């Protein structure tokens, strides 16, 4: 064997690496370190210092542009309710608000009554104050509509003009609701749904188009014969069920409106 070949093998033996590669140990050590940090954090979170937690919460709030709470952070779980949605449950306050709302509806009723009386039409409507607001019932369908028709009569125009002048001065929502008696209508109305809905629509259109009441404030609904207020087949009972109601809706919260019927009943008893 030549000297050159012997030298080459010697250099290969000196520079070769026959032991296992242990570079994996570096990655393993990093993983162990990360796990140790994780458990340290979990342990720290298991015992929260209230004072430090409040400081952290206030710092984060200030960082996001919110006001810092002086009484500490609110850690109660649940739904956060906006302040304007919180209902005052004090019965005395609710009763006072209901009484004020009843007086407002009563004042509106008296204004309508005076306007109708000036035209000699005070006997053409019925007023009821309840939990919905002020209901103005147009008495007897024949007073306002021809038989089996949705066309407003001349008297109906006069009554609605007297009422509409008062409604134009308030901001309440107005619901016009048509009703029918249980008898089947004649052509062109296939059912009482079309007849009652058509009459309600005509009243709503008159209030919007002739009295200047904003369209978004008014809605028309037909109830067919599903909500009778009188039992029997007599002419008077049928006429009471064949009606159109104009409801000036109260804009108070439900808890306040629920107290109005009792106030109305007490007022009638005086």
CA distance to 217, 222, 232, 235, per residue, from 226 (Å): 25, 10, 14, 18
Angle in degrees, 0-180, between the axes of helices 91-118 and 260-268, rounded to the nearest 10: 60
pLDDT band at 193 (very low <50, low <70, confident <90, very high): very high
Structural domains present in the chain: 3-71 (no CATH), 91-268 (3.30.1330.60)
Tracing tokens 């021809």 back to the chain, one arrives at 146
pLDDT, tens digit, 9 for 90 and up, residues 23-59:
777 778 888 888 887 777 677 666 656 666 676 567 6
Greater confidence (103 vs 37) lies with 103
Of residues 236 and 246, more confidence is placed in 246
Q: What is the pLDDT of residue 82?
A: 59
Query: Using alpha carbons only, what angle is made at residue 64 by residues 63 and 69, rounded to the nearest 5 degrees?
Result: 80
* pLDDT for position 258: 95
The conformational region for residue 214 under phi > 0 = left, psi -120 to 50 = alpha, else beta, is beta
Distance CA 210, CA 143 (A): 19
pLDDT at 90: 74
pLDDT confidence of 73, banded at 50, 70, 90? very low
Computed over every residue of the chain, the mean pLDDT equals: 82
Contacts of 161 (CB under 8 A, 6+ apart): 210, 211
pLDDT band at 76 (very low <50, low <70, confident <90, very high): very low
pLDDT in tens, 198-211: 999 999 999 999 99
| Sheet of strand 174-178, all strands in order from the earlier edge strand to the far edge | 125-130, 133-138, 244-249, 174-178, 218-222
Average pLDDT over residues 94-107: 95
Helix (H), strand (E) at residue 93: helix 91-118
Per-residue confidence (pLDDT) for residue 122, from 0 to 100: 87
pLDDT at 224: 94
């Amino acid at each position: 064997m030549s000297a050159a070949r012997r030298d080459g093998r010697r250099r290969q033996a000196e520079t070769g690496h026959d032991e296992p590669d242990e570079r994996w140990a570096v990655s393993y050590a990093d993983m162990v370190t990360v796990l140790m940090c994780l458990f340290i954090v979990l342990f720290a979170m298991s015992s929260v210092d209230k004072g430090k937690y409040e400081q952290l919460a206030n710092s984060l709030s200030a960082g996001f542009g919110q006001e810092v709470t002086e009484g500490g952070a609110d850690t109660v779980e649940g739904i956060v309710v906006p302040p304007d949605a919180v209902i005052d449950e004090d019965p005395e306050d609710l009763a006072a608000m209901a009484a004020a709302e009843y007086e407002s509806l009563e004042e509106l009723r008296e204004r309508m009554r005076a306007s109708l009386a000036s035209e000699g039409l005070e006997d053409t409507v019925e007023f009821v104050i309840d939990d919905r607001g002020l209901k103005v019932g147009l008495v007897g369908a024949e007073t306002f509509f021809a038989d089996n028709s949705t066309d407003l009569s001349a008297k109906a125009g006069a009554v609605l003009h007297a009422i509409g002048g008062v409604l134009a001065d308030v901001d309440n929502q107005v619901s016009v609701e048509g009703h029918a008696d249980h008898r089947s209508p004649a052509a062109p109305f296939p059912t009482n749904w079309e007849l009652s809905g058509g009459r309600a629509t005509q009243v709503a259109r008159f209030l919007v188009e002739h009295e200047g009441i904003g369209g978004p404030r008014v809605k028309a609904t037909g109830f067919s014969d599903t909500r009778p207020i009188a039992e029997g087949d007599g002419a008077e009972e049928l006429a009471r069920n064949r009606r159109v109601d104009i409801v000036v809706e109260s804009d108070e919260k439900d808890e306040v409106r629920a107290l109005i019927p009792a106030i109305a009943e007490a007022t009638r008893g005086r």
